[in-house]
């Protein structure tokens, strides 16, 4: 399970210190706070952040708004503007870049947290919607609701998925999340080179299998015993290497 990774720009040391404190209190992974706007695009290429926090006035030959316009041409990263500009003209220019939020300083931690949560939620909803409409698959990670937050979960960290009526439990090593999604829909969206349905109520991560009891039609992931359904047995055996 990974934290939400955030890249920020800020040229004022006082605002930078506050931003670092807020990010730490919200348990986000702050990649860096960039002072030189010309470094932002190379750092995005190198770090692939989930969210971009952008100051409008970067004390440079390029504004935060102009920089986001360039970033939007190259990447698909939700942006939150953090700025001291309250005027309508600056807001209208920033609005053209389609940011998630435009937050004026001074701001409260809760305001920033909600904007980030909304950005992640909309991004996840958009990605799942695309997956449903054109039959593409989630490839690396997804975000799941955890109380008032959205938590990033790597697919490789998921050990198995268990159906429960109209819901499913996503099981990690030491944690589980309930999501409002049927197992069939999950099966269609998850990569089939890593995940396989072995029972009407279970999808497993093939890399997480610890033991297989062929005579009992059962496999173990840690201490969890999962039955292998008759209709899934042949497909399952074709996916494992047997010497």
Of 52-61, 78-87, 139-148, 225-234, least confident by mean pLDDT is 139-148
Query: Residue 149 in 3-state DSSP?
Result: strand
pTM of the complete model beyond 0.75: no
* Residue ranges of domains in the chain, CATH in brackets: 5-123 (3.40.50.2300), 158-239 (2.40.50.1020)
Angle of helix 109-134 relative to helix 13-25, nearest 10 degrees, comes to 60
Give the H or E element holding residue 130. Answer: helix 109-134
CA distance 150 to 114: 10
CA distance 60 to 53: 17
**Chain centroid to CA 103: how far?**
22
| Per-residue pLDDT band at 148 (split at 50, 70, 90) | low
Taking every pair of C-alpha atoms in the chain, what is the biggest distance, in angstroms?
Answer: 72
pLDDT at 86 over 60: yes
| Per-residue pLDDT band at 133 (split at 50, 70, 90) | very low
| Per-residue pLDDT band at 124 (split at 50, 70, 90) | low
| Per-residue pLDDT band at 216 (split at 50, 70, 90) | very high
- Summarize pLDDT for 38-65 with one digit per residue, the tens: 999 999 999 989 899 999 988 888 999 9
Q: Is 74 or 203 the better-scoring residue by pLDDT?
A: 203
CA distance 238 to 26: 45
| Per-residue pLDDT band at 243 (split at 50, 70, 90) | confident
pLDDT at 4 over 50: yes
Stretch 185-197: mean pLDDT:
87
């Amino acid at each position: 399970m990974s934290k939400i990774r955030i890249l920020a720009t800020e040229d004022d040391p006082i605002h930078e210190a506050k931003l670092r404190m807020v990010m730490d209190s919200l348990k986000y992974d702050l990649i860096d706070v960039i002072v030189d706007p010309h470094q932002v695009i190379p750092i995005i290429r190198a770090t692939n952040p989930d969210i971009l926090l952008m100051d409008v006035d970067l004390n440079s030959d390029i504004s935060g708004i102009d920089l986001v316009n360039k970033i939007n041409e190259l990447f698909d990263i939700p942006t939150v503007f953090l700025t001291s500009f309250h005027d309508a003209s600056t807001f209208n220019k920033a609005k053209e870049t389609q940011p998630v939020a435009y937050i004026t300083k001074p701001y409260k931690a809760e305001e920033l947290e909600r904007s980030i949560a909304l950005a992640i939620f909309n991004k996840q909803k958009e990605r799942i919607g695309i997956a449903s409409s054109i039959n593409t698959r989630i490839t690396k990670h997804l975000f799941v609701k955890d109380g008032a937050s959205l938590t990033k979960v790597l697919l490789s960290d998921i050990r198995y998925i268990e159906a429960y009526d109209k819901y499913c439990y996503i099981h990690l090593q030491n944690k589980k999340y309930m999501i409002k999604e049927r197992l069939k829909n999950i099966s269609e969206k998850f990569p089939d080179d890593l995940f396989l349905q072995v029972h009407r109520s279970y999808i497993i991560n093939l890399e997480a299998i610890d033991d297989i009891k062929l005579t009992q039609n059962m496999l173990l992931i840690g201490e969890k015993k999962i039955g292998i359904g008759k209709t899934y047995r042949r497909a399952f055996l074709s996916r494992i290497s047997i010497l």
